[in-house]
């Protein structure tokens, strides 16, 4: 959001902000609502983990955590009302995190098979080690 836009928040405090206040004033009801939503999502996370669906457990847990994290970032951290530049700093960091985890996982999975063979006293081709 542009600088001018941020200024307009000065008189956008849901009617309760004092004149000349810097930034967006979050209503008390929103803060309580966000907290309760996060608690409900925590309960769902715990409940979902009790059901064993193999690999989908990780996917589900990460999906709910991502929703929770986004709620924290958008409301508690004011990213919804903040300058867009701040949003992109965070978004960029998360993107690089995914990139790093993704590529390293890809790489390690590719060579893990060779390493297992090596550990079992074989050559990397899977043939018995010549003695």
CA angle 123-124-125, nearest 5°? 90
Q: Which long-range contacts (CB under 8 A, 24 or more apart) does 41-47 make?
A: 41/67, 41/68, 41/71, 42/68
Is 32 an interacting residue with respect to another protein (CB under 8 A)? yes
Contacting residues for 27 by C-beta, under 8 A, at least 6 apart: 14, 16
Is 124 an interacting residue with respect to another protein (CB under 8 A)? no
Whole-angstrom distance, CA of residue 13 vs CA of residue 21? 9
CB of 121 to another protein, least distance (A): 15
Is 40 an interacting residue with respect to another protein (CB under 8 A)? no
Per CB under 8 A, contacts with another protein among 64-103 are 64-65, 68-69, 72-73, 75-78, 82-83, 85-86, 89-90, 92-94, 96-97, 100-101
Is 25 an interacting residue with respect to another protein (CB under 8 A)? yes
* Contact criterion met (CB below 8 Å) for 108 and 101: no
H-type alpha helices, the chain: 3-8, 28-50, 56-71, 84-119
CB of 59 to another protein, least distance (A): 10
Is 117 an interacting residue with respect to another protein (CB under 8 A)? no
Whole-angstrom distance, CA of residue 81 vs CA of residue 1? 8
Whole-angstrom distance, CA of residue 122 vs CA of residue 115? 9
CB of 92 to another protein, least distance (A): 7
Report the interface residues with another protein, using CB under 8 A.
3, 6-7, 13, 16-18, 20-23, 25-26, 28, 31-32, 34-35, 38-39, 42, 45-46, 49, 57-58, 61-62, 64-65, 68-69, 72-73, 75-78, 82-83, 85-86, 89-90, 92-94, 96-97, 100-101, 104-105, 108-109, 112
């Amino acid at each position: 959001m542009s600088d001018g836009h941020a200024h307009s928040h000065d008189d956008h405090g849901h009617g309760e902000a004092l004149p000349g206040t810097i930034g967006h004033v979050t209503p008390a009801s929103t803060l309580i609502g966000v907290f309760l939503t996060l608690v409900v999502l925590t309960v769902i996370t715990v409940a979902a983990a009790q059901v064993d669906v193999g690999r989908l457990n990780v996917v589900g847990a990460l999906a709910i955590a991502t929703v929770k994290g986004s709620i924290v970032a958008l409301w508690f951290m004011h990213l919804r009302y903040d300058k867009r530049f701040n949003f992109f700093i965070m978004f960029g960091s998360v993107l690089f995190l995914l990139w790093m985890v993704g590529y390293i996982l890809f790489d390690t999975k590719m060579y893990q098979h060779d390493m297992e063979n090596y550990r079992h006293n074989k050559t990397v081709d899977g043939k018995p080690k010549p003695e």
